Amino acid sequence: MSDINEEYLRKHFPECMDNDKNKVDHYAVDKLLWTASVEDIKSGYRFDFLKNKYVCLFCGKEYERGIVFPFEDLLFEAERAVQNHIKIIHGNVFECLVGLNKKFNDISEVQKDLLKLFYKGLSDKEIVEQQGGGSTSTIRSHRYKLKEREKQAKVFLAIMSLLEANDSSGKSMQGILDILSQSEIDSLINAYLRNNR
């Protein structure tokens, strides 16, 4: 993950740790992100209906619905508690998502830096000034390419959703995932996304 303070998590959120290695259980956290909806990813948490808990997608911290959680001089219900947790522990959800490694977002360092500046609402001219040079046309080109990637990602999500809806057995894509290694899956994803830069 991006800037997770493992010492802090070890002390305050032991459920996020792999007890055998005393490190963040990245596999469990990865699974949270891969199985979350786009809306859940945008909020940084999801609701686990089986456990009746809100779960932070960045570290796995859980907040059971129906329980009140203290924070400073206030008490919060579970959903508000997970929102506070994300804000205090992880900061801005946008920054967390942009900061994820290539396994999750396949965004270059240049694109990450520009996305952060776009998020701040800076104009192309202000970005050029902040970066100490370049041209506004280059910044506009990056904006355009990122918007094109967004459009293509929407179409790809629709395709995969239709594929899943059409597959009554639920095995058409699962079979592929069972026979490919993680590096082969990553290669396929990267090959598809590489054409969009």
pLDDT at position 105: 83
Please give the Cα distance from 63 to 174 (Å, whole number): 31
Total-model pTM: 0.68
Where is 79: in which H helix or E strand?
helix 78-85
Q: Given a cut of 90, is residue 11 above it in pLDDT?
A: no
Q: How confident is the model over 17-68, as pLDDT tens digits? A: 545 444 445 567 788 888 888 899 999 999 999 999 999 998 889 999 999 9
pLDDT at position 56: 93
Please give the Cα distance from 36 to 59 (Å, whole number): 14
pLDDT at position 132: 87
Q: Are strands 53-56 and 17-18 parallel, antiparallel or unpaired?
A: unpaired
Q: How confident is the model over 102-128, as pLDDT tens digits? A: 888 888 999 999 999 999 999 999 999
